[in-house]
Structure 1
Amino acid sequence: MKPPFRIAVLEADTPLPEVVEQFGKYGDIFERLLKTAADALGQPDVISSKDIQVSKWDVVDKEDSYPDLDQVDAVLISGSKHNSFDDKSWILKLVDFTKKVLAQDRVRLIGVCFGHQIIGRAMGVKVGRSDKGWELAVLPFSLTAKGKEIFQKESINIHQLHRDIVYEYPPGVEALGQSPLCSTQAMYAKGRLITVQGHPEFNDRMMKFVIEARHKQGIFDDALYEDASKRAGNPHDGIAIAQAFLRFLLE
């Protein structure tokens, strides 16, 4: 594909008020990340921030609001506090829309965390709770040979915030990486999709807001909270992952 890229961000959740106040909603956060990544590639004759055109779609509260595929080049499904395996009407509609994207061969799919899981579900594999527990804050995952090629790195550090997983790689998808707590960290199919289980769009402040809120709610116990807090500010590869998304669109 050639830029400019019209990217529809499907907002599968609204971040915490503190995050929205400082960084905006998921569409805003991903738009900033992708534009930063485009300029950081250092190839202005190929792609730059001006080539990233983002539209934002609230698929939770406006569950019948979806982009016309003729008007976009890629669909990015965001993370969410919701369960990808639930059968709420808006989730079923999102799965059906994802199947619609997968059934054609022009518009490409990008999945992040919940979005990664929704794509797995739409492709017919099991998604659900992991019996290994939460994967939180900045953690590494190891890359397959294909993963090293796609991300152009030997390993990846990424913000994690999940205990739900895609249990196996769907047919026709290449595995990009795994971690001790999640064997399906990233998926790729040339010209079709790329996904990550973690959050390349997060920064340390976003992560700290979330883990503090969930600790207060009793979702994270003291040990989990303290462990995640220690790693929330560690360096991570969010920009490198977003650059891989852009290279995928440029294929």
Structure 2
Amino acid sequence: MDSQREERDITKPLSEEERSMEGKRYAVLLCAEDSEYVRKKYGGYFGVFIRMLAEEGETWDVYKVVSGEFPEDDGGLDLYDGFVITGSCNDAHGNDAWIHRLIALIRKLHSMKKKILGICFGHQILCRALGGKVSRSPTGWDIGVRIITLKTSSPSVMLPSKLSVIQCHRDEVWEVPAKAEVIGWSEKTAIEMFKLGDHIMGIQGHPEYNIDILFHLIDRLVQRHLILEAYGVEARAKVMLTEPDREAWKKICTSFLKTRL
């Protein structure tokens, strides 16, 4: 399985024969800088997503959009069967140049009906780009493992009634785009999950994280004085009470991303 971009002219769309021979191709739009710990242990956040989503015969590329690295939009986007937008330390309601460029890319991909899976920041920026509203949560940080109620009757996405997922965010979606459907919520956050058509889905939680990564993030937030040490200790203790349903989330994400329209 190739996880690096190949030396070829990516502005030329693949023929049907080439696509069949090469297998499906996906791109991770990386919106966070890797910490040294995650880079060494997991191969960075790209490696974390590869572990959850990649299957034999697929090609996965990474674009560090947070650093201004984007896929070519002149034919190059046709290479991909789907895109994943990751979490970030940045605010989806911010106005950094790369955020505005990402918003423009999302709108382009939406017009092409490309599959897009947004996680945490990715969930929020999808909503902002397509007409929804994102802001700080009035109830503050959500850090730990939270049980999500899911809309099981939603067409095209098979869901159980409840799943637990790792959370680490202080922003949230206040309003989804027009024609989007809210398919997940919790006692803290009204919009935990949404979909738009058959090609866009956002998840506020982190199905790709394990407990080790969450504990690492808690330590970093304490070190940066973004949360109090006592809050971090309490969050760690609560995490041990509920196991995240990582395998179920993996099935949901891969099924959405890889099912042809």
Task: Tell me the TM-score normalized by structure 1.
Answer: 0.87
Residue in 2 aligned with 1:8?
27
Query: How far apart, in 2, do the equivalents of 1:162 and 1:65 lie?
Result: 25
The size of the alignment, in residue pairs, is 235
Deviation (angstroms), 1:232? 3.4
Paired residue secondary structure (1:183): coil
Residue in 1 aligned with 2:39?
20
Residue in 2 aligned with 1:117?
124
TM alignment of 1:63-142, pairs within 5 A: 63-67=68-72, 68-105=76-113, 107-142=114-149
Query: How far apart, in 2, do the equivalents of 1:4 and 1:228 lie?
Result: 42
Residue 207 and residue 116 in structure 1: after superposition, are their counterparts in 2 closer, same or farther (change >3 A)? same
Paired residue secondary structure (1:167): strand
Per-residue CA deviation, residues 148-194 of structure 1 (Å, 9 max, x unaligned), is 98353220111100010110122121211111221110011342111
Note the residue ranges of structure 1 that are not aligned, 5 or more in a row.
36-48
Greater gyration radius: 2
Paired residue secondary structure (2:126): helix
Note the residue ranges of structure 2 that are not aligned, 5 or more in a row.
1-19
Counterpart check, 1:238 vs 2:246: yes
User: For the Cα contact (< 8 Å) 1:208–1:232, is it kept in 2?
Assistant: no
TM alignment of 1:172-191, pairs within 5 A: 172-191=179-198
Per-residue CA deviation, residues 187-243 of structure 1 (Å, 9 max, x unaligned), is 113421111001111111101111012112221113321221013344112232221
Residue in 1 aligned with 2:255?
247
Which structure has more RCO (C-alpha within 8 Å, separation ≥ 6)? 1
Residue in 2 aligned with 1:60?
66
Paired residue secondary structure (1:60): helix
Deviation (angstroms), 1:94? 0.5
Deviation (angstroms), 1:25? 1.7
CA RMSD after TM alignment: 2.0
Query: How far apart, in 1, do the equivalents of 2:118 and 2:51 lie?
Result: 17
Task: Tell me the TM-score normalized by structure 2.
Answer: 0.84
Query: How far apart, in 2, do the equivalents of 1:32 and 1:52 lie?
Result: 13
Residue 140 and residue 149 in structure 1: after superposition, are their counterparts in 2 closer, same or farther (change >3 A)? farther
Residue 108 and residue 149 in structure 1: after superposition, are their counterparts in 2 closer, same or farther (change >3 A)? closer
Match of 1:50 among 56, 71, 80: 56
Paired residue secondary structure (1:96): helix
Paired residue secondary structure (1:182): coil
Residue 226 and residue 237 in structure 1: after superposition, are their counterparts in 2 closer, same or farther (change >3 A)? same
Match of 1:154 among 152, 161, 174: 161
1:170 counterpart letter in structure 2: P
Per-residue CA deviation, residues 78-129 of structure 1 (Å, 9 max, x unaligned), is 0000011111101100111011111112x21100000001100011111111
